[in-house]
Amino acid sequence: MPTLYEEVRAALRESEFRPRKRLGQNFLVHEHVLEAILDLLALEMDDLVLEIGPGLGALTRRLVDRAAGVWAVEVDSILTRRLQESDLIANQKFHLISGDILKVPLAEILPKQKIKLIGNLPYSISTPVLFRVFELRDHFTSIVLMVQKEVADRIASAPGTKTYGTLSVWCQIHGQVTKKLQVSPEAFFPQPKVRSTVLKMELYPRPRVSPEEMTVLRGLLRAAFGQRRKTLGNVLGNWLKSGRDEVEEFLRSQHIDPRRRGETLSIENFIDLTHALASSHLLRAQPMDHLAKQLHVAN
């Protein structure tokens, strides 16, 4: 019986497909890593799964064997055609969706029941995909994602670290990282130049900030991490277009020193500040389109 590595090499030789770095097309060739990922997903026979990037179908076949239904979203047209021509397509549990995970109408496609999410995300779309998943969070129970180690570090970062930022706070108000799996470049073909991490995130029954206050939190994070070297008194004053004394008084009322910087605030601090700002007169003069500017995620 050929190894997974031999299967991947043979599949690539038999087609015109060439892996593209931009799309993160590095295929897992270590069986034990696939099994470890499946262990993280903890599938039951009645579970439904959304897979982002089925690729050559190695993980997909194992998902179809162990779950009640699999919805697989593939952006590459050549890989999509290979999957359409494979034996998977005859399996009634397998549903192939051709398109970009950031654009396909998931809310219309996915079943009404709760579903588990699994995927291997290239660096360029990791953050946008996470934000989209959280927008559709009512569809999902748990998330298992392979991302570049740098992204994983940002997601799970604690206050006061260089990697703590917008992505850390946004992820941690939606769920908790419960398990990690480090994956070396040798587990892939072709081998990437970076290390990867598989994260399992259990979503909270509801976000720790209400839907009505999400816009306020977006603005707060954009201000707090947009200029990391500036104090909260300065950045909030610029964002809220309020006098420095007024902003500093507000921060002190929340037991926060205005001289602190955004990366020193805990998740609980951001939650409390969001609640306080949502009912504060400091926001009353702010037009909603100003508050709802695209979330800055570079930090």
State the pLDDT at residue 23.
60
Residue 3 has pLDDT above 70, yes or no: yes
Beta-carbon contacts of 47 under 8 Å, excluding residues fewer than 6 positions away, are 66, 67, 68, 115, 116
CATH number at residue 82: 3.40.50.150
Say if residues 256 and 269 touch (Cβ distance below 8 Å): yes
Q: At 82, phi and psi to the nearest 5? A: -60, -45
Q: Which two tokens stand for residue 186?
A: 């040798």
Say if residues 183 and 146 touch (Cβ distance below 8 Å): yes
Residue 27 has pLDDT above 70, yes or no: yes
Residue 245: count other Cβ atoms within 10 Å of its Cβ: 11
- Considering the domain architecture, whether residues 100 and 178 belong to the same structural domain is answered as yes
pTM of the model: 0.88
Rg (CA), the chain: 22
Residue 19 confidence class, pLDDT cut points 50, 70, 90: low
Among 203, 226, 244, residue at a domain's last position: 203
Pairing of strands 48-52, 188-189: unpaired
Is 299 within the bounds of a domain? no
Query: DSSP class of residue 86?
Result: S
Among 163, 183, 203, residue at a domain's last position: 203
| Number of domains into which the chain is organized | 2
Is 18 within the bounds of a domain? yes
- Considering the domain architecture, whether residues 14 and 82 belong to the same structural domain is answered as yes
Residue 21 confidence class, pLDDT cut points 50, 70, 90: low
Helix 214-226 / helix 267-278 crossing angle, nearest 10 deg: 120
Is 296 within the bounds of a domain? no
- pLDDT-wise least confident of 60-64, 143-147, 206-210, 283-287: 283-287
CATH number at residue 256: 1.10.8.100
- Considering the domain architecture, whether residues 197 and 221 belong to the same structural domain is answered as no
- Considering the domain architecture, whether residues 38 and 140 belong to the same structural domain is answered as yes
State the pLDDT at residue 296.
45
Q: What are 217-246's pLDDT values in tens digits?
A: 999 999 999 988 899 999 999 898 888 889
Dist CA 7 CA 12 (whole Å):
9
Is 270 within the bounds of a domain? yes
**Residue 79 carries which side chain, given as an amino acid letter?**
L
Domain extent, residue 58, equals 4-203
- Considering the domain architecture, whether residues 129 and 180 belong to the same structural domain is answered as yes
**Residue 235 carries which side chain, given as an amino acid letter?**
V
Is 297 within the bounds of a domain? no
Average pLDDT of the residues in 141-151: 95
